Amino acid sequence: MTQFSKRDRRDFVRSTAAGLAVATLWKLPRTLGATSSSGKDLRLAPFRFDVTPPIGHGCCGGWITPIQVVDDPMEAVGFVLTGVGDPIVICAVDWTGLLNEAHVAWRKALASAAGTSIDRVSVHCVHQHNAPFACIEAQRLVEAHGLPPMLDVAFFGRCLAKASNAVLDALKSLQPVTHIAVGEAPVEKVAGNRRILGPDGSVISMRGSASKDAEHRELPEGLIDRQLKTVAFYHGEKKLASCHYYACHPMSYYGDGRATADFCGLARRRRQEDEPDCLHLYFNGCGGNIAAGKYNDGSKEMRPILMERVYQGIVASERNLKRERVDQVRWAIQDILPETDPKYDVDKILAQIADKNRSVVERNRPAYVVSWIRRCAKRIPITLSALHINGASLLHLPAEAFVEYQLKAQRMASERFVACAAYGDGGPWYLPTAEAFSQGGYEVSVSWCGPGIDAVLTRGIQSLMA
């Protein structure tokens, strides 16, 4: 990993100070609500920029091989929407995750450039694993104990600067939005529920992103959302931006030190090449308990096959798009702050991080728990948001939420077209259902919240969909 000078760190602090200051002052409760518009003055400005980590950067929190080579670039792709009160910014990033202060810093950088508040910025990760898992507080903790860096802070600062510049450049070419269209299509032979339950209802096996286990391949897909959903924005007949949503962990294989947007990112990029004048965005839905292991054996040959299946889902979802004039737009927000699971003891966790007899993974992974606990102590909320346009709702949720929350949101507003983007603020890490905690399994073991998260998140979704 590259060593950073005092100047590098000073530049990083300057670039993020404003965003982190907001985090320390932004307390619950806040008065929240919605901003509405007829949509007659709606404008859209697309942007995209490279966020490929440098050689040597840690991947997935430093638990797998660092970046050694770049197979294909990673990007941040988004747009600014004006004409509904203050500007709105929506962005998808080809990283594993943005947690706590890191997520606030990204939103602050985009908000400042767009001339808006961070309440009106939604940033989501696609969740590829050969990529940064960014948490500033966790990085401070591991650095203090001489552990390998989890986050290159200078690189992080450069990405914030790129984000600001990309938005400023985009605002020079705002284009009217007159119509939207929605579409959906099933993605075949990609997603499967990764939690395999035994006769007593507890988890007996995890079917991850890849599996060579014959039983994993033979078992049913389980509870998933097979539909890939698309919401497209138009100026007249010209398609300006097309947002695609699908719930599944996006890895074919990983841990080999090769930077890549993997099969979901590659599918989006292929569609972008089809339509260079339209910005294509890909959002991972509530895929915390969904992966490709039923259909993927982890071989290199499977990546282009999985990419093709997602790409065909994107194309099929756009095949019958029917434009309708925009006549109603609303941006809604709702803060939540789930409680930390009481099983976590900060002093014991800090002792584990300091224990040099433990492995690196046993010492650096707990830093994420401490970061979440300290965030909760400061009462810094997670902001949920939704963009409602005509009969469509673009719902923005945090972290690795289970697919049940996505399906629940669709049932709550069954008369609407609900497209769900998860993997926003990754601070609490996994967001299982209340039922899942009694079932056990990996996801529950790395959820910093207890079973109460179900009721808290459900109420937040209900508020946005009302």
250-265 pLDDT, tens digit per residue, is 999 999 999 999 999 9
Please answer whether residues 123 and 97 qualify as being in contact, where contact means their C-beta atoms are separated by less than 8 angstroms.
no
Q: What sign has the CA pseudo-torsion 244, 156, 104, 379?
A: positive
Whole-number pLDDT of residue 400: 98
Mean pLDDT computed over every residue of the chain? 93
pLDDT category of residue 36 using cuts at 50, 70 and 90 = confident
Q: Is the pLDDT of residue 9 over 90?
A: no
Q: Is the pLDDT of residue 292 over 80?
A: yes
- Record the tokens describing residue 436, joined without a space: 């899942």
Could you read off the pLDDT of 364-388 as tens digits, one per residue? Answer: 999 999 999 999 999 999 999 999 9
- Record the tokens describing residue 74, joined without a space: 């990673």
Question: Nearest CA to 117 among 35, 230, 195, 225?
Answer: 35
Q: Is the pLDDT of residue 429 over 70?
A: yes
| Rounded average pLDDT over 313-342 | 96
pLDDT category of residue 38 using cuts at 50, 70 and 90 = confident
Whole-number pLDDT of residue 17: 40
Per DSSP bridges, beta strands 203-206 and 195-197 are antiparallel
Question: Nearest CA to 125 among 253, 287, 241?
Answer: 287
Whole-number pLDDT of residue 35: 86
Distance CA 151, CA 53 (A): 10
Distance CA 232, CA 234 (A): 7
Please answer whether residues 97 and 59 qualify as being in contact, where contact means their C-beta atoms are separated by less than 8 angstroms.
no
Per DSSP bridges, beta strands 121-125 and 88-93 are parallel
Distance CA 140, CA 291 (A): 31
Distance CA 249, CA 284 (A): 8
- Record the tokens describing residue 419, joined without a space: 């497209």
Burial of 465 (0-12, 13-18, 19+ CB in 10 A): buried
| Rounded average pLDDT over 31-52 | 86
Distance CA 423, CA 256 (A): 23
DSSP 429: B
Whole-number pLDDT of residue 34: 78
Q: Which of 6 and 313 is assigned the larger pLDDT?
A: 313
Q: How much of the chain exceeds pLDDT 90, in percent?
A: 91
Token pair 């606990």 in the structure block, residue? 373
Whole-number pLDDT of residue 318: 98
Per DSSP bridges, beta strands 88-93 and 69-70 are unpaired
| Rounded average pLDDT over 179-196 | 98
Whole-number pLDDT of residue 12: 40
pTM recorded for the entire structure: 0.93
Whole-number pLDDT of residue 19: 38
Distance CA 150, CA 99 (A): 12
Distance CA 381, CA 22 (A): 12
Question: Nearest CA to 59 among 331, 255, 337?
Answer: 255
Q: Is the pLDDT of residue 303 over 60?
A: yes
Distance CA 189, CA 310 (A): 9
- Record the tokens describing residue 245, joined without a space: 């949503």
Q: What is the radius of gyration, based on Cα positions, of the chain?
A: 21
Q: Which of 33 and 18 is assigned the larger pLDDT?
A: 33
The type of residue at 35 is: T
Question: Nearest CA to 447 among 341, 291, 374, 365?
Answer: 341
Could you read off the pLDDT of 204-214 as tens digits, one per residue? Answer: 999 999 999 99
Question: Nearest CA to 37 among 78, 79, 86?
Answer: 86
Sorted by where each begins, the domain ranges of the chain are: 37-465
Distance CA 288, CA 230 (A): 20
